[in-house]
Amino acid sequence: MKIFLIIFGLLVITGCDVFIQYCDVGKSYYVDSEYRGLNYALDDGGGIGRIKSGVTAAGWNNKHLIIERRRDDNLYFYIIDVEKDHGFAENQEFVSGPFSEKKFLEQRKRMGVDPKLQFTKRWSNCCWIE
């Protein structure tokens, strides 16, 4: 089954959260504006944390999310296998990382992440930009 990616908006009226939805499989993610953590969105409006905080960039396609995270002046990278994720799955089942940039590039190849997939949203002081 093909998965189509829809971006609800760059900025949401209620804040600067970024929402990502995979319609065909009913999966949604968001990066909250307060802690900049990546969350799996639940139907009741809540979320389950995938990356705790400090997300500085995100990119996605129909199979993977790639995440850049800054912590203590270091950059870390993650790959999320969207097809394996579900609301109550354990992170180790589908979240790979944290990686250094070099290891991230190696893991992308190993996991078959599309080489064209890039970080399309970046955090800049207060909001997400393209």
Mean pLDDT of 44-64: 89
Tokens describing residue 71:
């912590």
pLDDT at 107 over 80: yes
- DSSP one-letter string for 49-110: EEE-S-EEEEEE-SSEEEEEEEETTEEEEEEEETTT--TT--GGGTEEEEE-HHHHHHHHHH
- Residue 8 CA neighbour count, 13 Å, CB half: 16
Q: Minimal CA–CA distance to 129: which of 87, 30, 121?
A: 121
Q: Which residues on neighbouring strands pair with residue 61, listed in sequence order?
A: none
| Confidence band, pLDDT 50/70/90 cuts, at residue 25 | low
Model confidence, pTM:
0.80
